[in-house]
Homo-oligomer: A and B are copies of this chain.
Amino acid sequence: MSEGAGTGVHIVQGYSIKQTSELTGITEDTIRYYEKIGLLPRAQRKGNSHRIYSDNDIETMKLITCLKKTGMSLDDMRPYLDLSLDSNLSEYPELHEMILNHKQKILDQIASLQQIVDLIDSKIDQNYLGPQECVLTGDQKKMPVRRTIR
């Protein structure tokens, strides 16, 4: 069912897009879409066409899934993917700061989520003390939706 089956042993060194889809839980279409929008680098090709993926690629895709779970947009996660490929963060102070910034946002998001949990708990316990607001640090929404020109 997988590689190494049959007589002609094809040591292909890497996963097909189908295998990759199964390993990551991301559909083939979506993987191609991520490549199309440049979220993933252009995959290596076999023969003249078929994509092949490495374990490293798999990890990157899993990271995407993970980041998506946190509600991050595909655009916002680009720096994280770079981070995951390139280890020398301190060489790019701009990126470094951006990451720190994003970390704070995530911490805020955790606080926000915690408040929801508190709200739920208070409702469930019947000990509701009135609305306690989602106070969070100001309006951190998504960045001013700069619609440039029109």
Chain A residues in the interface with B (C-beta under 8 A): 25, 59, 62-63, 65-67, 69-71, 80, 83-84, 87, 89-90, 96, 99-100, 102-103, 106-107, 109-110, 112-117, 120-121, 123-124, 126, 128, 131, 133-134, 136, 139-141
Tell me the smallest distance from the CB of A46 to a CB of chain B, in Å.
25
User: Min CB distance, A72 to chain B, in Å?
Assistant: 8
The answer on a CB contact under 8 Å between B114 and A110 is yes
Q: A128 with B87: in contact, given A106-B117, A117-B107 (CB under 8 Å)? A: yes
* Measured CA separation A136–B139 after assembly (Å): 29
Is A116 in contact with B120, judged by CB distance below 8 angstroms? no
Contact B136 A69, beta carbon cutoff 8 Å: yes
A103 and B82 CA atoms in complex are apart in Å by 32
Residues on B with beta carbons closer than 8 Å to the beta carbon of A87: 123, 128
Picked from B65, B66, B99, the residue with its CB within 8 Å of the CB of A120 is B99
Assess whether B89 is in contact with A124, with CB atoms less than 8 Å apart. yes
In the complex, besides A80-B116, A107-B117, 14 extra interface pairs with C-beta distance below 8 angstroms are A66-B136, A67-B116, A69-B134, A69-B141, A70-B109, A70-B112, A83-B123, A87-B123, A90-B126, A99-B124, A106-B116, A106-B120, A110-B117, A113-B113
